[in-house]
Homo-oligomer: A and B are copies of this chain.
C-alpha cells in the first residue's frame, strides 16, 4: 500500500494520529528532502531506522521504479512532501499515477 501522508505546513501540532501511526509503521518513507522529513520524525520521536528514501523532481524514473517494485513486494510505503499534502506542487503525482496504473492500493491520510 502507498499512503499519501499529509504533514504540517506551519504548526507542528497540525498532524493527525493516523498520520503519526502510518509514519511509525511504514517500511519506507519516500520524501522530497530526507533532512526535512528526518527532523519532522525526530520532533515526534519516530525512529528513522534508515527508512527514508529521497524522491523529488530530479529523482528520475529509476527511483520511481524502485518504489513501485517495493510496493509490489508488499512493502508499506508512505509518501510525504516537505510540508502539506503530497501531490500538490511536488512530484508525488507521478508516483501516485504509476501506483494506480499498477493496481497498488493508494490511501490518502489527512
Which residue on B lies nearest to A13, using beta carbons?
A: B18
Provide 13 A-B residue pairs closer than 8 Å at the C-beta atoms, listed in order of the A residue.
Answer: A11-B18, A13-B16, A13-B17, A13-B18, A13-B21, A14-B16, A14-B17, A14-B18, A14-B110, A15-B16, A15-B17, A16-B16, A17-B17
Closest CB of chain B to A52's CB: distance in Å?
22
Q: State A86–B88 Cα separation when bound (angstroms).
A: 25
Contacts of A14 in B (CB 8 A): 16-18, 110
Q: State A21–B110 Cα separation when bound (angstroms).
A: 18
Q: State A94–B107 Cα separation when bound (angstroms).
A: 35
Q: Which residues of A (1-21) have their CB < 8 Å from a CB of B?
A: 11, 13-18, 21
